[in-house]
A and B are shown apart, each in its own frame.
Chain A
Amino acid sequence: MTYDETTLAQLRDDAADIVSRYPVKRSALLPMLHLVQSVDGFVSPDGIRFCAERLDLSAAEVSAVATFYTQYKRRPNGEYQVGVCVNTLCAVMGGDRIWDELSEHVGVGNDETTADGKVTLERLECNAACDYAPVMMVNWEFFDNQTPDSAKQVVDDLRAGKDVAPTRGPAKVCTFKEVSRVLAGFDDGRANEDQGVGAPTLAGVKAAKAQGWKEGKK
C-alpha cells in the first residue's frame, strides 16, 4: 500500500469505527469501500488491499464485491458525479433530451469524465424521485424538475468552481470524496441544512387541507 502514515492511521481509525457497528466484521465491507472512495476518489488497488487486510478477506473477494455495485468506481472519478435519470418516466418527461443536450454540451458520454477531472456523466436509473421528473442527481443530491438549460447551467457552474445548491437537500453539493465519507457513515453536520420541501412531497397534504383535514385531528 502506498498510503502515507497519517492517511493510513486515519483509515485504520475509521475502519475500526465502521467495524464496531456490526456484530460480524464482514458487514463493514460496503461502507469501507465508500470510505476508500472518500480518500482515493475510486476503489483503488490500495483501497482493495486495505479492506482485505482489515476484514481478513482476500483481495479477490473484495474486488468481486466492489465490481457488483455501480456506485463503486474502477477509475478515478470526477469531482462531481452528474447523473441524468433516463428510466421510463423521467426519459419521457424530458430526461432523454436533457441527456442528449448535456452530453453534447460537456463533450463526454456515459461513464466518462471531462478532461479537467470535474464532471463524470452517468445515465441513471430511477432515483426514487419520479414525482419530480425529469430528475438529475449531482453527487447523490436531488436536482428536481430539470430542463436542458438548467442542467447545463449546473454543470457549467460546477466546472467554474462555484458552489451549487440542489433543489432539495443541503446548502451546497459536496465533492464526490466528501459525499463518499458520509456514505461510509461519518456525519458531516449538514443534516439540518434544507432547501425546503418540494411541491410534490406536499401535494397530498395540501389537497387534504383543501378537503378540511387538520393535522392532529384524529
Chain B
Amino acid sequence: MTTLTPVLSATWDVKDSWTLSTYTKHGGYRGLKKALKKQPGELVQAIKDSGLRGRGGAGFPTGMKWGFLPPDDGKPRYLVINADESEPGTCKDIPTMLSAPHTLIEGVIITSYAIGCNHAFIYLRGEVVHVYRRLINAVREAYEAGHLGKNIHGSGFDLDVTIHSGAGAYICGEETALLDSLEGRRGQPRLKPPFPAVAGLYARPTVVNNVESIASVPAIIDRGVAWFTGMGTERSRGMGFFSLSGHVERPGQYEAPLGITLRELLEFAGGMRGGRPLKFWTPGGSSTPIFTDAHLDTPLDYESVGAAGSMLGTRALQIFDDTTCVVRAVMRWTEFYKHESCGKCTPCREGTFWLTQVLKRIEKGHGTPADIQQLLDTCDSIAGRSFCALGDGATSSVISSVKLFRDEFEQHVSTGECPFDHAASALFTYSDSLEGAHA
C-alpha cells in the first residue's frame, strides 16, 4: 500500500493555517533562508536534479524551463504564477492558496532569486474572492517580515510581488493568453515561438509556472533533492495532489507520490458511493481522455497514464458511477469548451459549436445513426488543427467516450431517449417533475 505524503497540505488542519506565524512555526521560510545562502545557479540545478515537472497540466520539467532563460542582460525578467485554476475537475491550487498561501509566496521568492527576477506576478482567477484576500494578506505579512521588498534578509536581492485578478475566462490559463491578459488585453493565445522564456511578459524573458509547481520548491530546497526523488517513479518524481471528486464516499485532496493508483486512492476515499460500480473517470481533468474500471491499477504517473492512452494532466480525478449517462457528461464538457473557446481560430470556434449541437441532439434522443460518425469527423478537424491546446482538449472526452461507450451513444439514437434517470446520480433525492424550467 502506498503511503500518503502530505507536504503542501501538511498544516491545513492547524488553527489559522493561512497566517505567517502558523506557517513559520511549522518550518516555513526555512527553505528561503537556505536558498539565499546559495548561488542562483545552484538552485536551478537543484530543481533540475529533483526532477520536478510542471503541475499545471503539461508536465514540463520545471528546472529545465528556468534554464531556458537567456543570460542576464541587466533588464527585467519576470516570474508569473498561473493561479487561474479552471480546468474542470481541478481543485487543488485554490485550497492551497486558501489554507497555506505562504507555501506559494515562499516558492515565489526562492524561484525569483534563482532566475534573477525582481518583480513577480500571481495571476489568480477572479471568481474566488476569499483566496484573493488571503494572498494579499500573505504578501503583506511577507513584506513586514522582510521576506519581500528591498535587500531581503541582507542578501542584496530585491523582490516585489503583485497579485492580479482575472475576470472569468478559462483560456487565460493557457500561458500566453494569460500574459496577454496580464498586459491588459483580451486573453488570446500567442503564436509560439517565441516562447515566454525568450519573449514573455512585456516581451521580456518570463517563467510561467503553476501554483503547485512553485509551492513545491521550498520543501525541495529545505529537505533536499534526495528526499524529493525518493518519492514517485523514475521519470515522475515527488508528490502531488490527487483531487478526487464525484461518486466517492470521501472526495477531496489526497497528496501522494506520483505513481499511486486509483484503486489505492479509492481505499483512502472510502470507496465508491454506496459501493456502486465505477463507470468512468478522468485522470487529469476534462481535457484528458476518460478511463474506466479497466484502469484502476494504472500507475498515475506521466508515462503510465500516457501509455494507457490518456494524460496525467492536473490529476483531477472526476469519478462517475454506473448511474451516470456518459453522453450527458461529455455534452456538458463540450458545452464548456464551446463557451470558453476564445474565437481566435476557426477549427476550435466552429468545431466546438457543432460538437455541442450534435451531442445535445443525441442526448435528447433526437440523434441519427450518422451523428456518431459526425462527432468523430468533427473532432478530426479540430484536434491537431487548432491554434492552442484548448481545441485538442475539447475532443478528448468525445473521442474516448465514443470509443469506450459507443453502444450507449447508439442506444440514445435507436430508442430516441436517454436511458438514465438523472436523479439517481445526484447526492440528494428528488422526483422528476420540474425538468426544463428556465434552462
Write the residues of chain A forming the contact surface with B, with a CB cutoff of 8 angstroms. 21-24, 26-31, 33-34, 55, 64-65, 68-72, 86-89, 91-94, 96-97, 99-101, 103-104, 108-110, 124-134, 137, 139-142, 145, 147-148, 166, 168-170, 179, 182-185, 187-188, 190-192, 194, 197, 199-208, 211, 213, 215-216, 218
Contact = CB atoms under 8 A, between A and B. Distances in A.
A205 B183 contact: no
A191 B137 contact: yes
B185 interface: yes
Contact of B162 (A22, A72, A170, A188): A22
Contacts of B268: 203-204, 207
Interface string B321-342: 0001000111011001001100
A132 B246 CA distance: 9
A72 B167 contact: yes
A62 to B, nearest CB: 9
A24 B202 CA distance: 8
A71 B167 CA distance: 5
Contacts of B72: none
B18 to A, nearest CB: 8
5 contacts: A30-B164, A87-B286, A87-B333, A130-B91, A140-B128
A26 B320 CA distance: 44
A216 to B, nearest CB: 7
Contacts of A125: 86, 88, 170, 336, 339-340
Contacts of B182: 27
B168 A88 contact: no
Given A88-B329, A100-B438, A191 B88 contact: no
B336 to A, nearest CB: 5
Given A148-B428, A188-B133, A203 B253 contact: yes
A169 B130 contact: yes
Contacts of B130: 141-142, 166, 168-170, 190-191
Interface residues of B, number: 103
Contacts of B16: 192, 194
Contact of A133 (B133, B202, B245, B340): B245
Interface in B121-148: 125-130, 132-134, 136-137, 140
A125 B128 CA distance: 13
Contacts of B423: 97
Contact of A88 (B26, B256, B318): B318
Contacts of B339: 125
Given A31-B165, A97-B430, A215-B6, A140 B127 contact: yes
B292 interface: no
A5 to B, nearest CB: 27
B183 to A, nearest CB: 6
A91 to B, nearest CB: 5
B352 to A, nearest CB: 14
Nearest to B14: A215
A89 B89 contact: yes
B6 A88 contact: no
B269 interface: yes
Given A89-B89, A130-B246, 20 more contacts: A21-B164, A71-B168, A89-B88, A93-B425, A93-B426, A97-B430, A125-B339, A126-B88, A128-B85, A130-B245, A131-B243, A133-B427, A141-B129, A170-B133, A183-B165, A187-B136, A191-B133, A203-B253, A205-B10, A205-B13
